């Protein structure tokens, strides 16, 4: 049975919607065990081992082009743990049948999708260093869930057009299709 880790950080709820869709889709496919973990400021990188999983979905929102600081700190602590244990090798050799997908939810009011491309790449570096093959980087539109009117207006005034209510059912169905595709390969 394939062991899947669904690891995510969600500050405003957009990434959580995607992570829950990933979990739901994996469960519907059967023959796979999925563990879903939300990274928060209190998350302990020693609570689990990335190398115990065959496939990892890892996601976050995008804040000034990168994951939120809590996810950056968690990735750094997780990398340190694996370096200290000797899991990170020169040339980061691939481990057979260890694969991953990284993803980010984003609004992109200023430069569109270009604001988001670095976040999944950042997330992927932790897994790539461990020997996972990153088979996809997904970018999913998400509205600004802010109490600050300055940011909320970007839901309709940004380069992405009207992103109010995103990720919506169409976005989540697209995620379900992507999950099904990568897990059936």
Q: What is the pLDDT of residue 60?
A: 98
Enclosing H/E stretch for 38 = strand 32-38
How large is the average pLDDT for residues 13-28? 98
The distance in angstroms from the start CA to the end CA of the chain is 15
> Left (φ > 0), alpha (ψ -120 to 50) or beta: where does 66 sit?
beta
Residues 95-125 have pLDDT tens digits of 999 999 999 999 999 899 999 999 999 999 9
Confidence of residue 184 (pLDDT cuts 50, 70, 90): confident
> Which stretches within 30-92 are classed as H helix?
69-85
Strands 32-38 and 99-106: unpaired
Q: How much of the chain, in percent, has pLDDT values that exceed 90?
A: 92
Which CATH number fits the domain 2-183, given the four candidates 3.40.640.10, 3.40.50.150, 3.30.160.270, 3.40.50.360?
Answer: 3.40.50.360
Q: Point out which residues pair with 36 in neighbouring strands.
A: 6
Domains of the chain, residue spans = 2-183
Q: Is 171 helix (H, G, I), strand (E, B) or coil?
A: helix
């Amino acid at each position: 049975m394939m062991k899947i880790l669904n690891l995510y950080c969600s500050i405003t709820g957009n990434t959580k919607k995607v992570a829950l869709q990933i979990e739901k889709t994996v469960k519907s496919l059967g023959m796979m065990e999925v563990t879903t973990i939300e990274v928060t400021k209190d998350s302990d990188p020693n609570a689990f081992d990335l190398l115990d999983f065959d496939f990892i979905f890892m996601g976050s929102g995008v804040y000034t082009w990168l994951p939120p600081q809590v996810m950056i700190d968690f990735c750094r602590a997780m990398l340190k743990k694996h370096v200290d244990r000797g899991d990170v090798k020169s040339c980061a050799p691939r481990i057979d049948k260890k694969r991953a997908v990284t993803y980010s939810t984003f609004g992109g009011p200023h430069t569109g999708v270009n604001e988001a491309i670095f976040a999944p790449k950042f997330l992927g570096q932790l897994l790539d260093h461990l020997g996972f093959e990153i088979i996809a980087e997904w970018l999913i539109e998400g509205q600004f869930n802010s109490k600050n009117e300055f940011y909320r207006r970007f839901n309709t005034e940004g380069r992405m057009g009207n992103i109010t209510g995103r990720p919506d059912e169409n976005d989540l169905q697209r995620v379900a299709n992507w999950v099904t595709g990568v897990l059936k390969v």
